[in-house]
Chain A
Amino acid sequence: MSYGAWIMLTGSLVGVTCGIVGCFLILRKMAMLADAISHTVLLGIVLAYLVSHSLEGIYMLVGAGIIGLLTAFLVQVLHTSGVQSDAAIGVVFTSLFAFGVILLSAFAGKVHLDVNHALMGEITFIPWNTLTIGGMNLGPSAVWMLGSVLLINLILIFLFYKEIKISSFDPAMASAIGIPVMFIHYLLMSMVSITTVASFDSVGAILVVAMLIVPGATAYLLTDKLIVMLVISAAIGVIAAIGGYYAALIWNISISGSMASIAGLIFAVTFILSPKHGLMAKLIARRSIVAEQS
């Protein structure tokens, strides 16, 4: 496969994986928590490296999963003991992230990871960092990592679909009928954590938030069915990735930055034009109500 094709495949996998998980973040109004987790997993990555002395995917995923859960847990603890939830997120987010940055700078010589890379990602290098097993070149390792995480997420969503759905729509009813709402919450947060780590290399901690939130927020405006929302969101992720790649080629700009920008552009257009929830539709509806009344 060509260099460009690998980049587009990687970007699309980021788009699909983030887009699907992102829908649940939108529905549960948890964009802020996702933002926090996408940064604190940096600490997980550094700790995983310091413990395992390896940058292999599996250690990164476990480290990020643990720190992601820790983030969600600490936010929950602070919140239930009376701290406002956005303040709780702010405190946990900045403390754990700062600790990650400190560790990273203290062990900078030993860790083959720099803050800039972790924050911004570098999708242009992805095709050269390949996975070889028994002398066989299996393509970029990021593709394998993203593919595995996508598969894990899909399996979890498939297995717990109705539990995730009811605990997102009506958590009180869900726990009344015995669904472990907190388990589902942490399950989703684990999915966010591993999704973030897998996307890190390509788009970095800052843009991964865009890929998590924007496609889901756009899909929310376009459909009234959960399953359709998941599909649209994934599709927007792919369009943003491919469109972003070509835009970056044409204007010679950052690939990941242009991916996130395209996602933002799709959102803006949808927000204005969506037939159901868009700005135009609302204005027209308001006008017809006014017309009816007069």
Chain B
Amino acid sequence: MNPVKVSNVTVAYDRKPVLQEITFDMPEGKLIGVVGPNGAGKSTLIKAILGLIPTASGTVDIYGKPYKSQRKLVGYVPQRGSVDWDFPTNALDVVLMGRYGHIGWFRRPGKKDTAIALQALDKVGMKEYASRQISQLSGGQQQRVFLARALAQDATVYFMDEPFVGVDAATEKAIISLLNELKAQGKTVLVVHHDLQTVKEYFDWTLLLNKRKIALGPTEEVFTIDNLQKTYGGRLSFLDTQLDPSHVVQS
């Protein structure tokens, strides 16, 4: 069964349509990159799938059921800039938040949750920083904490919003090896990505999005100059100079 089935989803902010009639199935056990220009609706797509914003029409199924009954199967990494990193808390505490969905009302994270959270921090190379105040972490370290929190959710399908933005080279490597590890465990990961240079290297499948779905499929089939032109429109001229043709599939 498909981990995620999006059918005919339309989203509008103040009657201004942001996503139009999006329909696609996500294949299981793949790393899927989502690309599109700024304001294309990439974050909105994730938020709509997770029920964080109302949809004007359409349905989303996670393993054949509505999201509400499948929350525990889904992990989420929001854009790093979406939270206040001056909040008085430390790295371990943030990762423990990944356990809250499993803990239930009126209970505190226990020893087992702390062990899971520490293990997740270890996986992203941040164990020594467990008790570090989050405002004192670098951008890359904050991003790793967010990834660790998603790992602590112990999900089957992951949605990550621009995890590679503003991180150092070491963090980028750590993230990509983590993604591959998740894939090896049979998990499905959808990643909003901004760097067209690395799409072919990182992702098995690619979703090209600009308000509408331009294309979805195996990267070598859909990541073509033609589709990029449709996605980025006139802005592709600047892409030409940025993009080494060897990174794009020639059609």
Contact = CB atoms under 8 A, between A and B. Distances in A.
Interface stretch (A102-110, A129-137, A176-184, A261-269): A176-184
Interface string A160-180: 011101101110111111110
B133 A224 contact: yes
A169 B87 contact: yes
Contacts of B87: 27, 168-169, 226
Contacts of A27: 84, 87-88
Interface size class of B (residues with CB under 8 A): 20 to 34
Interface in A221-246: 223-226, 228-229
A228 B135 CA distance: 16
Contact of A172 (B47, B68, B153): B47
Contacts of A170: 78, 82-83, 97
Given A172-B47, A172-B52, A229 B88 contact: yes
B55 to A, nearest CB: 15
A220 B88 contact: yes
Contact of B100 (A179, A225, A228, A229): A179
A177 B77 CA distance: 12
A159 interface: yes
Contacts, number: 71
A225 B52 contact: no
A173 B88 contact: no
Given A162-B100, A178-B101, A224-B133, A172 B78 contact: yes
Interface stretch (B103-111, B163-171, B202-210): B103-111
Interface in A73-95: 82
B135 A224 contact: yes
Nearest to B13: A82
Contact of A224 (B84, B90, B106): B90
Interface string B71-90: 10010101000111001111
Contacts of A174: 100
A175 B94 CA distance: 15
B40 interface: no
Contacts of B135: 224
B97 A169 contact: yes
A225 B97 contact: no
B192 interface: no
A176 B109 CA distance: 18
Main secondary structure, interface of A, reads helix
Interface size class of A (residues with CB under 8 A): 20 to 34
Contacts of A229: 88
Interface string B24-55: 00000000000000000000000100111000
A226 B149 CA distance: 19
B244 interface: no
A53 B233 CA distance: 70
Contacts of A175: 51-52
A173 B97 contact: yes
B101 A177 contact: yes
B14 interface: yes
Contacts of B149: 173
Interface string B152-165: 01000000000000
A179 B71 CA distance: 11
A163 B109 CA distance: 12
B103 A225 contact: no
B71 A226 contact: no
A168 B100 CA distance: 14
A73 B128 CA distance: 44
Contacts of B105: 163
A220 B74 CA distance: 33
A173 B71 contact: no
Given A162-B100, A169-B83, A173-B78, A225 B71 contact: no
Contacts of B133: 224
Contact of B52 (A168, A176, A220, A228): A176
Nearest to A162: B100
A157 to B, nearest CB: 12
Contacts of B88: 27, 220, 223-226, 228-229
A214 B235 CA distance: 49
11 contacts: A159-B106, A168-B87, A169-B97, A176-B51, A176-B71, A177-B71, A223-B88, A224-B133, A225-B88, A226-B88, A226-B89
Interface of B: 14, 47, 50-52, 68, 71, 74, 76, 78, 82-84, 87-90, 94, 97, 100-101, 103, 105-106, 108-109, 133, 135, 149, 153
Given A169-B89, A177-B71, 10 more contacts: A27-B84, A165-B97, A166-B100, A168-B87, A176-B76, A178-B101, A224-B133, A225-B88, A226-B88, A228-B88
Closest 4 interchain pairs by CB?
Answer: A177-B101, A224-B133, A176-B50, A176-B76
